[in-house]
Structure 1
Amino acid sequence: MFDWKKPTVQMLGRWQPWHDGHQALFKRCIAKTGQVAIQVRDVQGASGGDGQDDNPFNWDEVCQNIEAGLLKDGFKRGQEYEIMLVPNIVNITYGRGVGYTFEEEVFDTSVTEISATKIRQKLRDEGKLN
């Protein structure tokens, strides 16, 4: 059961769509605290920021994609993770001594080369996405 008082790792993104790179990041996050809060910037049809204008998936589709992806590795919503709708956050600001850190995870080339832009184009080429 997801414990709202337990230390938790946050993943914030558009997830357009959820892919193997996100899956790899999730696995690193879950290893840190045992649970993850996945925050979804619902930006379908809007700009997610500089160079982030292609956002064809809506909130429900993003949630379904995340749940299906994580279930492949046995992770279940409400247990190891929760998904939250958040505004179109484009800046994260913090003060001193806030009790959390910002960390960049570094992966090998096979993961860093995964591109949601290329995935969306492939889906369009296959007629699976408008």
Structure 2
Amino acid sequence: MGLPGSGKTTLANALAPRLNAVHFNADAVRQEINKDLGFSVGDRIEQARRMGWLCDQVVKAGGYAIADFVCPTAGAREAFQVGGDATIVWLDRISKSRYADTNQLFEAPHPHHVRVSADGTPEHWAEVIVRMLRPVFDPQKPTALFVGRYQPFHEGHRRLIEEGLRRVGQVCIAVRATHGTSIKDPHDFEYIRARIEHGLRAYEGRFVVMPVPNVSHIFYGRDVGYQIERLELDAVTEAISATQIRLREATRSPLECFLGNA
């Protein structure tokens, strides 16, 4: 958010492809959807509420949404976030716009998450925002290792890995190279990785997925410096069968199988 002419749309255009985000531009939304709204204080608040609702639908579907608009007052920002908190990016690059009424109305957003100054390019600030929203996996932090075939990745796997995340903080998911070795292994690594990343999208930056050989044995010596333990989950989760899931998915399209993993 920020005054007209502060570079909101330019930044949004740089940021959207980096996040694969849906970009809602206020002018376009007003022209196509909110034709009944003007620029009174009340209409600005209603515009913010509707923009927030549009963004909420994208977020509920697991995506990122960018609301590119002035949102000039605390009341408008409250209306925008009625469905949930948002990351506030304030473009503080100009002191006034060409619209005197907006200049008079605009209140600096406090609190905010990122304050964009006149220094730096849109690409620079887009990278700053991406790094904030998508934490980078740190290979030097303590990490839990999960080794499996994930043919396919399912709810039981997700809950198991969530427990590992809860206990350790981040995880490495090692996918064994079993594709095509039997009828139980129909999926290649890229498909498995996509399903895992989609299923664990809420934990972005806290896990990494990598291929490993078809590991059949794990040996270790004494004083190895790490723990090996079995995680036991509830009976319903333990009873989930990958074989039964594969049988059900045999009659569905790849897209239906993928989305069914959400």
Normalising by structure 2, report the TM-score.
0.44
CA RMSD of aligned residues (A): 1.2
1:109 CA drift (Å): 1.3
Q: Which structure 1 segments of 5+ residues have no match? A: 48-52
Asked if residue 67 in structure 1 is aligned to residue 193 in structure 2, the reply is no
Structure 1 runs of 4+ aligned residues shifted over 4 Å read none
State the partner residue of 2:47. Answer: none
Give the letter aligned to residue 3 of structure 1: D
Inter-partner Cα distance in structure 2 for 1:105 and 1:23: 13
State the partner residue of 1:116. Answer: 242
Inter-partner Cα distance in structure 2 for 1:91 and 1:4: 24
Asked if residue 87 in structure 1 is aligned to residue 177 in structure 2, the reply is no
| SS of the residue 1:82 aligns to | strand
| SS of the residue 2:219 aligns to | coil
Query: Cα deviations across residues 85-121 of structure 1 (Å, max 9, x unaligned)?
Result: 1000000000000011111111111101111110000
Inter-partner Cα distance in structure 2 for 1:14 and 1:41: 5
Percent identity for Structure 1 against Structure 2: 38
State the partner residue of 2:162. Answer: 27
Give the letter aligned to residue 139 of structure 2: W
Q: Whose radius of gyration is greater, 1 or 2?
A: 2
Alignment of 1:36-75 (within 5 A): 36-47=171-182, 54-71=184-201, 74-75=202-203
| SS of the residue 1:68 aligns to | helix
| SS of the residue 1:3 aligns to | coil
Query: Cα deviations across residues 25-59 of structure 1 (Å, max 9, x unaligned)?
Result: 01110012211000010211115xxxxx5100001
1:2 CA drift (Å): 1.1
Higher helix fraction: Structure 1 or Structure 2?
2
Give the letter aligned to residue 21 of structure 1: G
State the partner residue of 1:50. Answer: none
State the partner residue of 1:128. Answer: 253
Inter-partner Cα distance in structure 1 for 2:248 and 2:171: 29
